[in-house]
Structure 1
Amino acid sequence: MKITFILPRLTAGPTGGGKIVYQYANALASAGHTVEVLHPRTLFLWSLRKSFALKLLSLGVDCARFAAVWPTRGKTDVPWMPMHPAVKISVVPALFSRFIPDADVIVASLWRTAEYVEHYPACKGRKFYFVQHYETWSGPAHRVDGTLKSTMNKIVISTWLKQLINELSGDEVHQVSNPVDHGEFFVTASIAKRPRVVSMLYSPHAWKGAADGVAALEQAKTQFPELQAILFGTSARPDFLPGWITYVQNPERQVLRDAIYNGSSIYVCPSWREGWGLPVLEAMACGCAVVTTDNGGTRDFVIDGDNGIVVPPKEPRALSKALLSLLADDERRAAFAARSIELAQRSTLQASLDKLLTVLAENPAAGKP
């Protein structure tokens, strides 16, 4: 098959959703398919700005970005992800149909890319919408919902997203769970002998719950003064972070695996909502017990009382209480960690790829036009 994936932009640092798309592109190319991952220079989002002045300024920026790569399609690389040499990584001025190659299959990602793909001619390929989150954090609900109700074939990564789309549109959608790369994330340190270190992803987006997570860590520190924490992310170290917490910006893969995940006994996820929660699954594969909010995405692989503790979102005290219970019970923590490894082993790239190929190759007549 000739397959086109569309991502909203080419980023300088890692993104969870982008990483999954690139992983699939690599695996599909290895299997002999022709794959292009295409990124627009602009999505023309100027109309979402609140004031006339901001709309005008944003439109000017959008037009400048559009003109910067006109009229050719540029080939480039992903700076943070090794790509199969057969995968074409392209940047185009915008997602207008004339810049999109003909293909057998085209796969949209972010809601705004789906708005474009829905209206492409049939020569661009059978239309799929790869839904990795309920993206009201990046666009107005009525437009996000509009893409979820569209006629495109939809692929979701988690059970809660499948239920959400069914409630919104009545559609039965395909579910392909995100994989973890077991060649990249695995146990390198004994889970039984790990010190009291907690790791956590930091993101400046409020819905990622970083402030809640840090508050919980500070509360836990009062009971266990020897507690250490390692936060990591793509942003610069936030000003509000206490000095005792280590922060690693853009950690290399080996550092993330060995020093952060394997250097931790517990991984905490304080997000209010997650489409999936890939770092949680990566930490599980590296032998971490989990403390997480009930954020939707992690329901598919974090089982309360089995490999972690699940608490309500936006409740730092509940997060802290859960952390304290595991910090005080090393035997229970190690048992949770062992179970995490077992559960993570089920999420393989090959299993997810097989499901994805089945969906993309299905008889077009069986799906929506």
Structure 2
Amino acid sequence: MKITFVLPRLMPRPTGGGKIVYQYANALAEAGHEIEVLHPRTLFLWRFRHTPAARLRSFAADCAKLIGWGAPGRRAYVPWMTMHPRVKITVVPALYARHVPQADAIVATLWRTAEYVERLPATKGEKFYFIQHHETWAGPEARVNRTLQSRMKKIVISGWLKDLVRDLSGDTAWQVPNPVDHAEFFVTCAPGQRERTVSMLYSPHAWKGAAEGVAALELAKASFPDLKAVLFGTAARPDFLPAWISYVQNPARPVLRETVYNASSIYLCPSWSEGWGLPALEAMACGCAVVTADNGGTRDFVIDGQNGIVVPPKSAQPLADALIALLGDDARRTAYADRSVRLAQQFTLQASVERLVDALSHRSPAVAS
């Protein structure tokens, strides 16, 4: 098949959703499919800015991106990921039909790209919408929901998103869970030999729960003075982070595996909402028990009382109570960690690619979910 994936602009730093799409592009190219990943320079988001001044600045920036572009498509590369040589990475001015190649299938990957893909002519390929979150944090809820109600065929990454699509549109989506790269994330330090260390992803977005997560760590530190914590993320170290908490910016995969996940006994996921929550699953593959807010995405692999503790979102105290319970019970924590490893092993790239091909080949969603 000839398949076009449509991502937002080419990002200089890793993004979770982009990483998954690039992984699939590599795997599909390796399997012999013809793959192109399209990146528009602008999605014309200026009209969604909150003030007239912000809209004017954004509109001017959009215009500047289009002036003097020249060639209709420019070959590019992903600076933070190794791509298969047969995957074509292309940057185009905008998602106008003249810049989009003909294909058997075209896959939108963001609510705004879905609006453009839905309007493209049929020659650009059968239209699919790869849904990795309910992106109300990235656009007006009514507009986001209309893309979920569109006539495009829909692929989701988690059970709660499948339910959301069904509730909004009546459609049955294909479910393709995000995989773990087991060649990169695996146990190198036995869970029973680890110190009291908690790891957590940091993001400046409020809904990622960093404020609640750090507050929970401070509460747990009061009960366990020897507690260590290591946070990681793409942003610079936040000013509010206590000095006793370590921070790793833009960790390479070996650093993430060894310095963060395998050095931790517990992974903390305080997000209010997650489409999937891949870092938690990566941590599980590396032997961490999990404490997570009930954010939707982690429901597919964190089972309360089996490999982790699930608490209500948006509150530090329940997260702290769960941390304290596991930090004070090594036998329970180690049993959870062992189960985490076994659960994570179910989520492989091969299995997910097979489901994705099922979707793109029009096989029944009931078979692929």
Tell me by how many angstroms 1:70 deviates.
Answer: 3.6
Runs of 4+ in structure 1 deviating by more than 4 angstroms, as ranges, are none
> Where in structure 1 are there 5+ consecutive unaligned residues?
365-369
Tell me by how many angstroms 1:4 deviates.
Answer: 0.3
Residue matched to 1:333: 333
* Stretch deviating more after TM superposition (291-300 or 43-52): 43-52
Residue matched to 1:264: 264
**Is 1:314 the equivalent of 2:327?**
no
Change in Cα spacing, 1:21 to 1:68, as seen in structure 2 (3 Å) is farther
Residue matched to 1:56: 56
Q: Is the 8 A contact 1:109 1:132 kept in 2?
A: yes
Q: Whole-Å Cα distance in 2 between the matches of residues 71 and 44 of structure 1?
A: 20
Tell me by how many angstroms 1:171 deviates.
Answer: 1.0
Residue matched to 2:304: 304
Q: Is the 8 A contact 1:70 1:93 kept in 2?
A: no
Residue matched to 1:348: 348
User: Secondary structure of the equivalent of 1:167?
Assistant: helix
User: Secondary structure of the equivalent of 1:192?
Assistant: helix
**Is 1:10 the equivalent of 2:42?**
no
Residue matched to 2:154: 154
* Structure 2 counterparts to residues 1-369 of structure 1, below 5 A: 1-67=1-67, 69-362=69-362
* Stretch deviating more after TM superposition (72-81 or 331-340): 72-81
Tell me by how many angstroms 1:67 deviates.
Answer: 2.3
Tell me by how many angstroms 1:363 deviates.
Answer: 6.8
Give the letter for the 2:240 counterpart: F
Identical counterparts, % of pairs: 67
Cα deviation 1:17-69 (Å, max 9, x = unaligned): 11100000000000000001111111100111122222222110011112253
Tell me by how many angstroms 1:172 deviates.
Answer: 1.1
Give the letter for the 1:342 counterpart: R
Change in Cα spacing, 1:68 to 1:209, as seen in structure 2 (3 Å) is farther
Q: Whole-Å Cα distance in 2 between the matches of residues 6 and 98 of structure 1?
A: 14
Give the letter for the 2:274 counterpart: E
Residue matched to 2:367: none
Change in Cα spacing, 1:300 to 1:288, as seen in structure 2 (3 Å) is same
Give the letter for the 1:319 counterpart: L
User: Secondary structure of the equivalent of 2:263?
Assistant: coil
Tell me by how many angstroms 1:360 deviates.
Answer: 0.3
Q: Whole-Å Cα distance in 1 between the matches of residues 37 and 202 of structure 2?
A: 27
Residue matched to 1:367: none
Cα deviation 1:333-358 (Å, max 9, x = unaligned): 00000000000000000000001001
User: Secondary structure of the equivalent of 1:337?
Assistant: helix
Cα deviation 1:182-238 (Å, max 9, x = unaligned): 011000111110000000000000000000000000000001011000000000000
Give the letter for the 1:125 counterpart: G
Give the letter for the 2:320 counterpart: S
Q: Is the 8 A contact 1:95 1:116 kept in 2?
A: yes
> Where in structure 2 are there 5+ consecutive unaligned residues?
365-369
Give the letter for the 2:152 counterpart: M
Tell me by how many angstroms 1:137 deviates.
Answer: 0.2
Tell me by how many angstroms 1:72 deviates.
Answer: 3.0
Q: Whole-Å Cα distance in 2 between the matches of residues 362 and 166 of structure 1?
A: 18
Q: Whole-Å Cα distance in 1 between the matches of residues 83 and 285 of structure 2?
A: 23
Q: Whole-Å Cα distance in 2 between the matches of residues 9 and 122 of structure 1?
A: 24
Cα deviation 1:108-146 (Å, max 9, x = unaligned): 011000000001001100000000000000000010001
* Stretch deviating more after TM superposition (171-180 or 69-78): 69-78
Q: Whole-Å Cα distance in 2 between the matches of residues 237 and 260 of structure 1?
A: 15
Q: Whole-Å Cα distance in 2 between the matches of residues 184 and 123 of structure 1?
A: 39
Give the letter for the 1:260 counterpart: V
Q: Whole-Å Cα distance in 2 between the matches of residues 330 and 146 of structure 1?
A: 48
Q: Whole-Å Cα distance in 2 between the matches of residues 54 and 203 of structure 1?
A: 23
User: Secondary structure of the equivalent of 1:335?
Assistant: helix
User: Secondary structure of the equivalent of 1:276?
Assistant: coil
Change in Cα spacing, 1:167 to 1:363, as seen in structure 2 (3 Å) is closer
Give the letter for the 1:180 counterpart: V
Q: Is the 8 A contact 1:67 1:93 kept in 2?
A: no
Q: Whole-Å Cα distance in 1 between the matches of residues 320 and 251 of structure 2?
A: 26
Q: Whole-Å Cα distance in 2 between the matches of residues 229 and 242 of structure 1?
A: 10
Give the letter for the 1:247 counterpart: Y
Give the letter for the 2:98 counterpart: R
Q: Whole-Å Cα distance in 2 between the matches of residues 161 and 68 of structure 1?
A: 41
